Structure 1
Amino acid sequence: MQTVTLVLILLLVVVVSGWVSRALPWPVPRPLVQIALGAMVGLAADVRVALEPEVFFLLFLPPLLFLDGWRIPKEEMLRDAPTILELALGLVVFTVLGMGYFIHWLMPAIPLPVAFALAAILSPTDPIAVSSIAARVPIPKRLMHILEGESLLNDASGLVCFRFAVAAMLTGSFSLGDAALSFLWIALGGIAIGVLVSLVVTRGKIWLARRIGEESGTQILVSLLIPFGSYLLAEHLHCSGILAAVAAGITMSFAEASGPLLANTRLQRSTVWDTIQFAANGIIFVLLGEQLPGILAWASETVRITGHDDPWWLLAYVVAINLALAALRLLWVWVSLNFTLFRANLRGEAMRRPHWRLVVATSVAGVRGAITLAGILTLPLALEDGTPFPARDLAILLAMGVIILSLVVANIGLPLLLRGLEMPAEDSHVEEEDRARIAAAEAAIAAVERAQHALAEGRGDADLYVSAAARIMDFYRSRIDHRSGDGDAVANARRTEAAERLMLLAALKAERGAILAMRRSRRIRSETAHRLMREIDLLELRHDG
């Protein structure tokens, strides 16, 4: 009963954080609000959450990484694949090596394997925190796609490095050759399992849906089980469950392209996954805040590990680690950019060097977040011989400090860096969208003609079907006319569509008001009102923007 109550409290705090972040007179990222509210709950209610590391990983990481892989724009990820791989793999190794030795030099009391583990778990970035800042700062779309792709892959690579470092601390030995072979098995095996599970499950449910029909609840539940199934199977076979969840998510978007779901299923599933993402990320940051009072209460004891008595030394260490992380990231981005420009010059391509502020913004945008917190909390409590894991509390405190400080720096620094900056031109997809809409309209007209002939054949009321088909085909022919022709005609057609959309939205608003008034006066049933309101909502969603 106590566990259920605790879960409900955490969910309630996540809900309140959304209200508070919107109500504040100045923009504050939601993760910072959640951390603050979690700390208030920890102080007021003396709530303490103790989760087993394996349980914590299983509950939070598979669904979050699966959803990132599922939703990331694949075309943009493939277009910028070299840059993303340089950041997600090269930068992770560079960060682990550089920060590992730096942390051990800065605080010799932290054993080198633990320093490498801390560096590894600090290497993944969190684009969700940056997205909350991007809502009020014009971050270029291409930069956001690169940050998203980097986060998707460096989550996995950072966590794999983290596990190797922890294993080295537990066993007391490390072999580079064995680690390389193990990494290949862990990485390739995890990817293969994720792809296989996602393909088998999606193909199976598509096959069943075509033969016995589709049920939205079942489809949604299956999508929820895929990341957990991929993760558990990979871990059972001693592969990377993290990479399996990522690979399953990426495969999911490709596998479902051959088997379209019902529109209602897609809408409901998207809503369910949005809720899961909001709740899981929120709970992680609330847990961070909830544990801060307890950890800070032991700050005086924890800092003695480093040979100091003043707890303010911990803040100095957090600032030093943040500065070192930013410097390594900036150095890597600068070298990577110049290498990219050099390769472009060799191919004879003209590439514009981005403004230095955009390069620095790429470094500042390396915010640490949910994955770093989820990973650091899974540090073992004890070594294999039963002795306490060395510097565990110190590593957790430092990681939490880095998360909070990186969020604050990004919230302040990104607006300053990007304010008034001329952004690189973004690719326009208007023509691509027009071609797709024309093709869809032509296919719809052909389908209506076939349906008209099939329904009207041999019936006495054939004129009724001809009239209905004519109205529908006029709608699609109008869409084709609006999307083809010369530039002025298309521009005028789009202005007409915009005016029609505004009028339609006004009409839908009036419809909604009338239905609500009829419901309040009990002239229609609640069920009828709900069905009509849903139709209006879907129409508004279709035409708004």
Structure 2
Amino acid sequence: MHPAELFELIVGMFLAVLALHYLAHRLNLPPAAALLVGGSALAFLPGLPSVAIDPELVLVLFLPPLLMDGAWYTALAPFKRHMAGILSLAVGAVVFTAFAVAIVAKLLMPDLPFAACVALGAVLSPPDAVSARAVLQRVRLPRRLMTLLEGESLLNDAAGLVLFRFAVAAVLTGSFSLVEAGGSFVLLVLGGLLVGGAIGGLWVLLLRRLGDDSLMIVATVLVCWSAYIAGEMLHVSGVIATVAAGLTCGWFQHVVFGAGVRLRAVAFWQSLVFLLEAAVFMLIGFSLRGVLERVGGISVVVEQMAGPVALIVLAVLVARFLWVFGVDAGVTMLRRAGWTRACPLGARASLVMSWAGMRGVVTLAVALSLPAEMPQRDLMLVTAFAVIAVTVLLQGTSLGLLIRLAQPPEDDRAAPPLDLHAAENAMFKAQFVAVEKHAYDADGKLIHPQLLARYRTRATASAKFEGTDEERAHAIASHFDTVIAAVDAGRAELVRLHRAGQIDDATLHDLERDLDLEELAAVSAKG
């Protein structure tokens, strides 16, 4: 494909992304499902060239920024508090699912080497960070479940990739050691933590010395790829290195970013992540055509592969249920015996956790990287795409409904000591104290009466409000709706003056920026 044609295809793909996102919004569907179906349909349009996906390029291009985005906003306190549960899912569930799939594949295809069956299980076992983000953004979960799912999506790729590499090596060399694989995994994780932590620390030191907002934003964007590539070059886990760098940067960004650079960086980063996530699901859809061409067409899939593929997909889904409910039952028994203080999830929360196992770009990229000598490679490719399609289209579209029906309880122990209202009161009081110190000159004369009155009102009105949470929310919404209406009126007047030639462009942009900041503050406070 000519480079110009490739660029035209990319532009066309992103235009399709906008249309599919709009369609998903109108139909109240998860965008990931619409993009996957849309990409699959577009792949078979007459005249559209076949898209060949390089698996290594897919991993290094898409995975680091999407992992970074998840790690950046991860709350460290609940992440550490639920580390045991996260590791149970990110490592235990991945290994259990891989071997469960391997056993089912071996029963279905006795001639297939067990190491190849494990390789297939490793391809299918890790739920995907991109797919999880795409779905979790649309649902509301208790804090504990959200922390577990987000933490799992950040760490499980490392376990799946290590297991996959050892299984492939076993197929090609004829030897496999689970102990050696476990030891290698520990070293890869520890090395990734060191590399990612070091790069995150260098980022903090660099941003303290950069004075240009644009340079700070560019440096922040490059951290994710720097950590991933450095990890892979040093033969440790690039996934863990990226997550560690993201956690470090997310922790320190509050003190190294100013308000202006944070607003610009967040806006740029959200647009970048949106495009990358959309491209991932479109590329998965495009890959269907290549997979079908490799195996000989849809008729070959239906006639020769449908049965084994369906059973393996079922094994993937059932294995997660068995692990989640099994671990929760074990925690319940240990708690009753007095051996642990850990609190079990319960049946309703376990049901939601079991159903939230969407696969995506990692499964596809790893499947495409299977060596040509791998036995039953075509079947593995078809199975990988089937698992992605079933989990994204079935689980992704029904997870919200399942959450509403199951209504998993909130873990009260996970709640922070202060709620939003209490934290807001503390912030207002601190602001009033600071303004009060600067409101008078050296002679004790009041020089900022309006500021003092404004911050005194904020500090006292919120604390004195005695209504219910619903009444408070209604009062806040009404207040800031009025502010937003005033901003809209001011912006309309500026535009009228500009169109009438009474103010120039510079005046329009300066005052409009003030109104934009005021509107952002009002919308944030209202929300």
Instruction: Place the TM-score, normalised by the shorter chain, in its bin.
Output: 0.7 to 0.9
- Number of equivalenced pairs: 520
- Give the Cα separation in 2 of the matches to 1:490 and 1:37: 43
Give the one of 510, 519, 523 matched to 1:540: 519
**What is the identity, as a one-letter code, of the residue corresponding to 2:424?**
R
2:119 corresponds in structure 1 to: 117
- Give the Cα separation in 1 of the matches to 2:498 and 2:331: 62
Given the alignment of the two structures, is residue 504 of structure 1 paired with residue 506 of structure 2, yes or no? no
SS of equivalent to 1:484: helix
Q: Check the 8 A contact 1:21/1:28 in 2, yes or no.
A: no
- Give the Cα separation in 2 of the matches to 1:113 and 1:441: 61
* CA deviation profile, 1:366-396 (whole Å, cap 9, x unmatched): 111222223323334x4xxxxx444333322
2:321 corresponds in structure 1 to: 330
Give the one of 264, 268, 276 matched to 2:272: 276
Q: Which runs of 5+ in 2 are unaligned?
A: none
SS of equivalent to 2:27: coil
1:414 Cα shift? 2.8
Q: CA 1:218 to 1:442, structure 2 compared with 1: closer, same or farther past 3 Å?
A: same
Give the one of 191, 208, 231 matched to 1:234: 231
1:441 corresponds in structure 2 to: 428
1:289 Cα shift? 1.4
* CA deviation profile, 1:59-92 (whole Å, cap 9, x unmatched): 1222222222122232332332222221111111
- Give the Cα separation in 1 of the matches to 2:403 and 2:144: 14
2:33 corresponds in structure 1 to: 32
Give the one of 409, 424, 427 matched to 2:409: 424
1:244 Cα shift? 0.9
1:6 corresponds in structure 2 to: 6
**What is the identity, as a one-letter code, of the residue corresponding to 1:393?**
D
1:401 corresponds in structure 2 to: 386
SS of equivalent to 2:243: helix
SS of equivalent to 1:478: helix
- Give the Cα separation in 2 of the matches to 1:318 and 1:215: 54
1:41 Cα shift? 3.4
Q: Check the 8 A contact 1:501/1:543 in 2, yes or no.
A: yes
After superposing the two structures, state which structure 1 stretch, 288-297 or 193-202, moved more: 288-297
CA RMSD of aligned residues (A): 3.2
- Give the Cα separation in 1 of the matches to 2:439 and 2:140: 49
Given the alignment of the two structures, is residue 216 of structure 1 paired with residue 213 of structure 2, yes or no? yes
- Give the Cα separation in 2 of the matches to 1:172 and 1:368: 29
- Give the Cα separation in 1 of the matches to 2:314 and 2:117: 16
**What is the identity, as a one-letter code, of the residue corresponding to 1:190?**
G
Q: Percent identity?
A: 31
Q: CA 1:267 to 1:430, structure 2 compared with 1: closer, same or farther past 3 Å?
A: farther
- Give the Cα separation in 2 of the matches to 1:405 and 1:490: 41
- Give the Cα separation in 2 of the matches to 1:102 and 1:419: 33
* CA deviation profile, 1:25-63 (whole Å, cap 9, x unmatched): 533322222223323433224323334443332212222
1:95 corresponds in structure 2 to: 97
**What is the identity, as a one-letter code, of the residue corresponding to 1:28?**
L
* CA deviation profile, 1:163-218 (whole Å, cap 9, x unmatched): 22223334443234433332232221111111111112212321x14xxxx21111
After superposing the two structures, state which structure 1 stretch, 148-157 or 33-42, moved more: 33-42
Report matched runs for 1:54-93 at 5 Å. 54-93=56-95
Q: CA 1:535 to 1:167, structure 2 compared with 1: closer, same or farther past 3 Å?
A: farther
1:11 Cα shift? 4.8
**What is the identity, as a one-letter code, of the residue corresponding to 2:461?**
H
After superposing the two structures, state which structure 1 stretch, 129-138 or 69-78, moved more: 129-138
2:171 corresponds in structure 1 to: 169
- Give the Cα separation in 1 of the matches to 2:479 and 2:70: 36
Q: CA 1:47 to 1:373, structure 2 compared with 1: closer, same or farther past 3 Å?
A: same
2:333 corresponds in structure 1 to: 342
- Give the Cα separation in 1 of the matches to 2:67 and 2:166: 20
**What is the identity, as a one-letter code, of the residue corresponding to 1:39?**
S
1:230 Cα shift? 1.6
Give the one of 306, 314, 323 matched to 2:305: 314
TM-score normalised according to structure 1 size: 0.85
**What is the identity, as a one-letter code, of the residue corresponding to 1:295?**
V
Given the alignment of the two structures, is residue 294 of structure 1 paired with residue 299 of structure 2, yes or no? no
Q: Check the 8 A contact 2:64/2:225 in 1, yes or no.
A: yes
Q: Check the 8 A contact 1:121/1:376 in 2, yes or no.
A: yes
2:452 corresponds in structure 1 to: 473
Q: Which runs of 5+ in 1 are unaligned?
A: 304-308, 383-387
**What is the identity, as a one-letter code, of the residue corresponding to 1:21?**
H
1:409 Cα shift? 1.7
**What is the identity, as a one-letter code, of the residue corresponding to 1:228?**
W
SS of equivalent to 1:368: coil
* CA deviation profile, 1:391-432 (whole Å, cap 9, x unmatched): 333322211111001122214543553344444146566944
1:478 Cα shift? 1.9
Q: Check the 8 A contact 2:331/2:342 in 1, yes or no.
A: no
After superposing the two structures, state which structure 1 stretch, 148-157 or 521-530, moved more: 521-530
* CA deviation profile, 1:279-338 (whole Å, cap 9, x unmatched): 2222222112112123223444799xxxxx663443333321221112111111111212
